[in-house]
């Protein structure tokens, strides 16, 4: 056991899925020609003024409501001053003293099934910066301001997480929450959710928090886990060698697994925050908040509870299947159409997930429709096919050979349940294996059990896996034991 305890707090930038920017009417769509979605406001032309996007405010409020947070009836924007080429205004419009969302909670279910609450310190509205492009420009940097002004909420947690695994569980839970309530597209690889991890260590039993470092801009769960584990090791090494931790901002390169110091930690004072004179405070009415509350869909945590109750799933299965809307919808469609939630869960979490992972596809790109999977499960249940053949049918459907029924028909995979036909097969097997049959009859109970498998194997071979297993067992037993 380590003598050290890890302490982690997260700051997460969540890009809001509005059509237009937070202070201008330019589109937020990604993938366009550089600077084609940058209006005069985004370019910080003199004389332009920001107009707050109501939808961004609504989305921030929805987030707050979904985490049971205080919604501040009044919030205000401030200017955070710093110079960076992808920030043409010379300041970022953000919230500091009066954020829109106050304290709240997010409950995690950890891998061992235990629950843990992480406190949300607050969440505030702000604008994203543009992007500096280094790759295509030799000796120069390109600036793309399409992202400048994309609305964000920055969610700040208390330092409540105690391991990389807990931090990742939090990140996944947040991802599933913001996508479920439709405020973020959840595209991690596009930077739609970016995590800054604050990490410190302290001796077990120590109350006082250790000095922390902040690793910025992690946009995959795996990189986040790697970055935290490396940083914890680095800090423990330094402290055990008698050194001390410098509070600093670090960068982690996921491809090389190397982290490095970027700059010493800056203080709020360094940014010369002041209230933005161009924007009025954001005032929210009671009716507006109630309306937004009523517009919230079922939350992942509620769905999880419902899956356990309605479909009799285990906590573990329910957590996986309820984690995102697409998977939940797929599961529910298969469960309802096949009328067998347990089999639906097993197939989705087993065969289907394995194939999706192998091909790096999401459930939205799944070539097997929910109705096809339901049909496959139905054919298993009515004994048209065995579970072994079902895998073959699954494979064929996956590869676009048609519906399960079409595949079963075209490939002649129907299970043989005709007792006359099966009896003939059994007689033939016994006749061809008289030595084994005699040995079986001479053996005691324990040995017979083992030897029986040989005959079943022969039957499956003879029928190419299509013999109804239950019937063939019964017929073999009868033939061998009389």
Q: Which of 7/320 has CB closer to ligand ADP?
A: 7
Q: Does 206 bind ligand ADP (CB under 6 A)?
A: no
DSSP state of 367: S
Q: At what angle do helices 221-240 and 164-180 cross, to 10 degrees?
A: 150
Report the nearest approach of ligand ADP to the CB of residue 362 (Å): 29
Phi, psi of 335 (to 5 degrees): -60, -45
Question: Does the footprint of ligand ADP cover residue 159 (CB under 6 A)?
Answer: yes
Least Å distance, CB 402 to ligand ADP, is 52
Q: How far is the CB of 87 from ligand ADP (least distance, A)?
A: 19
Q: Which residue's CB is nearer to ligand ADP, number 200 or number 458?
A: 200
Q: Tell me if 224 sits within 8 A of 197, measured CB to CB.
A: yes
CB 351 → ligand ADP: shortest distance, Å? 40
Asked if 195 and 155 touch (Cβ cutoff 8 Å), the reply is: no
Query: Counting contacts by CB under 6 A, is residue 171 touching ligand ADP?
Result: no
Please report how close the Cβ of residue 35 comes to ligand ADP at its closest, in angstroms: 32
For position 198 contacting ligand ADP by CB under 6 A, the verdict is yes
- CA–CA separation, 63 vs 53, rounded Å? 16
Q: Does 158 bind ligand ADP (CB under 6 A)?
A: yes
Q: Does residue 10 belong to the site contacting ligand ADP (CB under 6 A)?
A: yes
What is the DSSP-derived secondary structure letter of residue 265?
Answer: P
Would you say 149 or 210 has its CB closer to ligand ADP?
210
CB of 93 vs ligand ADP, minimal distance in Å: 18
Alpha helices in 299-352 (DSSP H): 300-311, 315-321, 325-338, 341-347
End-to-end CA distance of the chain: 62
Q: What whole-number distance in Å separates Cα of residue 84 and Cα of residue 68? A: 36
Q: Give whichever of 210 and 465 is closer to ligand ADP, judged by the CB atom.
A: 210
Q: How far is the CB of 5 from ligand ADP (least distance, A)?
A: 11
Kind and range of the H or E run holding 293: helix 286-295
CB neighbour burial string for 126-160, b if at least 16 within 10 angstroms, e if fewer: bbbbbbeeeeeeeeeeebbbbbbbbbbbbbbbebb
Residue of 9, 64, 104, 465 that binds ligand ADP (CB under 6 A): 9
Binding-site member from 4, 5, 11, 462 for ligand ADP (CB under 6 A): 11
What is the binding site for ligand ADP (CB under 6 A)? 7-11, 156-159, 198-200, 209-210, 212
């Amino acid at each position: 056991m380590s003598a050290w305890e890890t302490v982690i707090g997260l700051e997460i930038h969540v890009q809001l899925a509005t059509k237009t920017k937070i202070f201008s009417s330019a589109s937020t769509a990604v993938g366009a020609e550089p600077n084609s979605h940058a209006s005069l406001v985004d370019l910080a032309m003199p004389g332009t003024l920001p107009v707050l996007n109501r939808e961004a405010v609504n989305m921030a409020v929805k987030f707050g409501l979904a985490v049971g947070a205080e919604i501040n009836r009044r919030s205000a924007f401030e200017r955070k001053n710093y110079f960076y080429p992808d920030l043409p205004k010379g300041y970022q419009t953000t919230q500091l003293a009066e954020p829109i969302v106050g304290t709240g909670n997010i409950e995690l279910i950890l891998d061992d099934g235990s629950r843990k609450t992480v406190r949300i310190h607050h969440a505030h509205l702000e604008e994203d910066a543009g992007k500096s492009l280094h790759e295509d420009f030799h000796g120069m940097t390109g600036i793309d301001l399409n992202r400048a002004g994309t609305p964000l909420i920055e969610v700040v947690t208390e330092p409540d997480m105690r391991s990389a695994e807990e931090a990742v569980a939090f990140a996944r839970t947040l991802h599933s929450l913001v996508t479920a309530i439709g405020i973020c597209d959840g595209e991690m690889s596009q930077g739609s959710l970016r995590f800054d991890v604050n990490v410190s260590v302290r001796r077990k039993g120590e109350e006082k928090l250790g000095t922390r470092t902040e690793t910025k801009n992690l946009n995959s769960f795996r990189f986040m886990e790697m970055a935290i584990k490396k940083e914890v090791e680095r800090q423990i090494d330094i402290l055990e060698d008698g050194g001390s931790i410098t509070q600093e901002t670090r960068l982690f390169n996921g491809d090389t697994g190397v982290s490095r110091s970027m700059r010493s930690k800056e203080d709020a004072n360094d940014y010369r925050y002041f209230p933005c004179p161009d924007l009025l405070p954001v005032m929210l009415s009671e009716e507006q908040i109630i309306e937004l509350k009523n517009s919230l869909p079922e939350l992942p945590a509620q769905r999880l509870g419902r899956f356990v109750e309605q479909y009799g799933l285990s906590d573990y299965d329910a957590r996986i299947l309820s984690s995102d809307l697409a998977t939940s919808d797929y599961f529910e469609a298969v469960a309802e159409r096949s009328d067998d939630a347990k089999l639906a869960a097993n197939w989705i979490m087993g065969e289907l997930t394995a194939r999706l992972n192998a091909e790096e596809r999401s459930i939205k790109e799944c070539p097997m429709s929910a109705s096809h999977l339901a049909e496959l499960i139905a054919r298993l249940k009515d004994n048209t096919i065995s579970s072994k053949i079902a895998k073959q049918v699954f494979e064929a459907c996956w590869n676009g050979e048609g519906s399960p029924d079409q595949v079963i028909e075209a490939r002649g995979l129907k299970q043989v349940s005709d007792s006359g036909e099966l009896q003939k097969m059994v007689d033939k097997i016994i006749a061809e294996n008289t030595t084994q049959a005699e040995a079986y009859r001479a053996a005691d109970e324990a040995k017979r059990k083992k030897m029986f498998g040989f005959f079943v194997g022969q039957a499956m071979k003879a029928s190419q896996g299509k013999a109804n297993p239950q019937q063939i067992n019964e017929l073999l037993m009868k033939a061998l034991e009389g």
